[in-house]
Chains A and B, each alone.
Chain A
Amino acid sequence: MNVILWYVLWGIASLQGMAVVYLVTCKILANKRAGKGKAKYEEALPFFLEYFMTGDPSARLAIKELRLGHEVSEKILMDYLKNIRSGDMERVQELAADLLSSKYKKELDSRKWSGRINALYAIEKLKLDSCRGLLLKKLDTGKELLSEENIQTMKALASLNEQCLFDVMLENDMPERVLEELLMRYDLQHMEESIRMAESTDNKTFRRAVLRMIANKGLHAGFMFAEQQLQSPDSETRLRALQAYSSMNYMVDPDKISPFLTSPVWQERMYAARICGKLKLERFKPDLSRLIADRVWWVRYHAGEAISRLKDGDVVLRYLAEEHEDRFARDMARQWAASGGGIE
């Protein structure tokens, strides 16, 4: 019995020993690979930078002659994009197409989902135009439209300013958030085009997504469209229009804002109050003094903030803090008065 136990223990110990040897060997090899990669990175970096910063063709030639692995080239290009907001994006894209497009084209056909997704992310980040055809072929407008991989394919195409995608967005029932994420990837010229499309479409979700894009980008070209949408019969669309309106520092027609200060929808009252403060619409001081007593905390909060931004806002807030008949309004006024309201 003792002998059997001894053999079992001995077997376990040797298995553990083998596992340790295996892990240590793997670690040593990984460290070696990482060290080689780092050395290659450091060797190649000056040539990449020379090319990005000066466009020197001999630097580009030198990079090719270095015969770097895809990993090193990809790391340098990604690190550059991560750190530098560059006007010379064209050079980065050219080099990326030269060095990496064959790799990504192959990976797009990979059987591994993670490999395909990583390739899609990289294509989007590096804006690899040479992969456009493959992406269009890969795009599924059928039942897989909203699968993660297909959404990432659309994002990559949007980053390449692919116009066909607008038809997909207009003709399909896609969530507003996905549409917004796609629209945000286009360049300014195409964003303006999407505004023109939103003006003529019946697709409410697309229209709302365009309004969200205008809000996020503070896009001045969308001002007129946002103004029109304030009259929309759809309350969600009106809300997005107010959001867009409040994100732009354009002077608005106060008459367009006033109906929202008495809206039955609290979000509309809140955004209207925000716009009054942001654009210092003095004539709405009485409305804001009323809204500081609103039944919804957010409306009260933004009304208080808006008053604090107006001329003599601190005086009004102090008065409201003492004299308003509503206890919650007095509290809110006190809070904004204490935070230095009216200083601006």
Chain B
Amino acid sequence: MNVFTEERSLANIQKLHFIIVDDDPLVRAVLEKSFLKIDFGKDIAVIVHSFQDGVEFLESDWYDPDDKYLLLLDGIMPKMDGIEVLLRVRTDYPDRNIVVSMLSARSGEGNIIQALEKGADDYMLKPFNVPEVMARMERMAKRMLL
């Protein structure tokens, strides 16, 4: 697991975690680099985590009820695919501070509907446009922070 943090000194800072779960190191690196550029002002610390598969993510100690989370899940992964990770997150953790978006090469209507029905808040397709993914994630983050 990789963690990248923007250090902030204020005690009452709110933490916003971007979590990328994708087995492709190139995708993880592109997204990590891009998420770290997002700035929500001095009261919000952006922390970026990345995991190479769903099992590694779920077995990690990633959750703190006081923080906010934006998960970006790859649809097709070894060991455990994105939909299964989504189901586990939606079953085991509360909805209110976790937003989940899928980033998948599965473009079928059925796949998209299934993901949204199982609790995804958004569905994006691979190959993806980096500014578009950033804009969507930023929008969802702002809505959650309000």
Pair B30/A79 contact, Cβ less than 8 Å: no
Interface assignment of B3: CB less than 8 Å from any CB of chain A: no
Complex Cα spacing A81 to B24, Å: 13
Q: Which of A80, A85, A87 lies in contact with B26, CB distance below 8 A?
A: A80
Interface membership of B106, Cβ < 8 A: no
A87 and B130 CA atoms in complex are apart in Å by: 9
**Count the A residues whose beta carbon is within 8 Å of the partner chain — how many?**
16
Report A-chain residues with C-beta under 8 Å of the C-beta of B129: 84-87
Pair B33/A82 contact, Cβ less than 8 Å: no
- Selecting from A10-18, A41-49, A318-326, A328-336, the interface stretch reads A41-49
Distance in angstroms from A116 CB to nearest chain B CB is 27
Give the chain A neighbours of B26 by CB distance below 8 A: 45, 49, 76, 79-80, 83
Is B127 positioned at the interface, with any CB of A under 8 Å from its CB?
yes
Question: Can you name the residue of chain B whose Cβ is closest to the Cβ of A76?
Answer: B26
- The answer on a CB contact under 8 Å between A83 and B127 is yes
Residue contact A45 to B25, C-beta cutoff 8 Å: yes
Tell me the smallest distance from the CB of B142 to a CB of chain A, in Å: 23
Say yes or no: B25 contacts A42, CB within 8 Å: yes
Residue of B nearest to A80 (CB): B26
A84 touches B130 (CB 8 A): yes
Please, which residues of chain B bring their CB within 8 A of the CB of A23? none
- Determine whether B136 belongs to the interface, using a CB cutoff of 8 Å to chain A: no
Contact (Cβ within 8 A) A84 B30: yes
The residue that B29 contacts in the complex, of A46, A82, A86, A87, with Cβ under 8 A, is: A46
The chain A residue with its CB closest to the CB of B27 is A83
Nearest-neighbor residue (CB-CB) of A84 within chain B: B127
C-alpha spacing A46/B30, complex, angstroms: 9
Find out whether the CB atom of A53 lies under 8 angstroms from the CB atom of B127.
Answer: no
Asked whether B29 lies within 8 Å of A83 as measured between CB atoms, the reply is no
Residue of chain B at shortest CB distance from A50: B33
**CB nearest neighbor in A for B127:** A85
* Interface magnitude class on chain B: 10 to 19
- Contact between chains at A83 and B128 (CB < 8 Å): yes
Cα A174 to Cα B126 in complex, Å, equals 34
Bound-state Cα–Cα, A41 to B26, Å:
10
B29 close to A49 (CB less than 8 A): yes
Shortest distance from the beta carbon of A41 to any chain B beta carbon, whole Å: 8
Interface residues in B24-43 (C-beta closer than 8 Å to A)? 24-27, 29-30, 33-34
Q: Which residues of B contact A79 (CB under 8 A)?
A: 24, 26
Query: Could you tell me if A49 and B33 are in contact, using CB atoms closer than 8 angstroms?
Result: yes
Q: Please report the C-alpha to C-alpha distance between residue A283 and residue B33 in the assembled complex, in whole angstroms.
A: 55
Chain B residues with CB below 8 A from A53, complex form: 30, 33-34, 130
A46, B27: Cα distance in complex, Å: 12
Residue of B nearest to A82 (CB): B127
**Interface hits, B96-131 → A, CB 8 Å:** 126-131
For the complex with contacts A45-B29, A53-B30, A84-B127, 8 further pairs of A-B residues with Cβ separation under 8 Å are A41-B25, A45-B25, A45-B26, A53-B130, A76-B26, A80-B26, A84-B128, A86-B130
The 29 sampled A-B contact pairs (Cβ below 8 Å) are A41-B25, A45-B25, A45-B26, A45-B29, A46-B29, A49-B26, A49-B29, A49-B30, A49-B33, A53-B30, A53-B130, A76-B26, A79-B26, A80-B26, A81-B127, A82-B127, A83-B26, A83-B27, A83-B30, A83-B126, A83-B127, A83-B128, A84-B127, A84-B128, A84-B130, A85-B128, A85-B129, A86-B129, A86-B130
